[in-house]
Amino acid sequence: MVYAFVEIFLMFLFQLFFTGFEDKLKGEIVSYLSRKFSDKEVNYLIELKSVGWEVQGIESYDIKIVRGSSNYRGYQTFKVQICRGDSAKEFFISALVRTFENVLIAKKNLRHGVVIDSRDKIYDLFLFEKVETTFLRDGYVCDVSKILGKAVRKPVREGEIIFENYFEDLPLVKAGEMVRVIARIGNVRIETTGVAKGDGKLSEKVRILNPNSGKLFYGRVVSEGVVEVEIEN
C-alpha cells in the first residue's frame, strides 16, 4: 500500500513538472507570434499536439522559439531551443494555434450597390465582434479602412462575417463626365480635357472623346477624374 502511495505521488510530481514546462512553452510560442506578427491584434490559445518525451521534466530550462511557419494561425510546427548553462538542445513541436480577433460583422441585411462612403456609415451597418478566426479563409475584415469608399458587390446577410471580396472599388471616372487628360510624349507632358465614354476604375482603360476634334482615344485611369495617355514618338 505504501508503494502504491509513493508511485501515485511521484506520478503527480511528474505531471506537475511537465505541466509547468508546457505552460512555459505555450507562453514562449505566444510571445514569438506576437513579435513576428506585431501588426495584428490577436488573442492566442496554444494547443500542443506533440512534445518529445525526452524533454519532459525540464521546466527549469530556458526556452526559445527559433523558427515558426509563415502563418500565425492553424496547425503549425515550431523549432524550439532549450538551454541550461552551456548545454543546449533543439527539437520540433507541433501545435494548433487558435486565434481570436475582432472581426467586422453585418448588423443588418445589405443589398448590392450600397456605398460605404463614411466611417459613420460603417458603424451604422457593421459592428466588431471577437470571433475565432483559426480556420477562417483569408480576407476577413479587421480594419475598416479596407472597405471605406467601396461598394457592396453582393447581398450580405445580417450577422455574416465580412470579407474584403464582398466589396468593389467605385469608378474614379464616370461616363459623360469631363476628365483631365494627361498626355506624355517622351519627356513632354501635355494636359487637356475630354469626355469619358464609360466608367473606369483605377488602372482601367476608358474611351475618351476629344470635344474639339470629335475623335475617340483610350486613356488609363490614374486618379479621380484623371486619365493618362502615352503617345509614342
The answer regarding whether domain 100-169 maps to CATH 3.20.10.10 reads: no
Give per-residue pLDDT as tens, 71-90: 999 999 999 888 877 777 88
CA distance 224 to 75: 44
Which residues in the chain are classed under CATH 3.90.1210.10? 100-169
Tell me which of 15-24, 81-90, 187-196, 218-227 is least confident.
Answer: 15-24
Give per-residue pLDDT as tens, 100-109: 999 999 999 9
Q: Which CATH class is domain 178-230?
A: mainly beta
Which residues in the chain are classed under CATH 2.30.30.760? 178-230
Task: Look up the pTM and report it.
Answer: 0.70
Paired residues of 123 in beta bridges: none
DSSP for 168-212, written as a single string: EEPPSB-TT-EEEEEEEETTEEEEEEEEESS-B-TT-EEEEE-TT
Closest-CA residue to 59 (of 85, 26, 25): 25
CA distance 69 to 76: 6
Q: Check if the beta carbon of residue 162 is closer than 8 Å to that of residue 103.
A: yes
Q: Check if the beta carbon of residue 105 is closer than 8 Å to that of residue 128.
A: yes
Mean pLDDT over 118-128 rounds to: 92
Query: Nearest 5°: CA angle at 50, between 41 and 97?
Result: 15
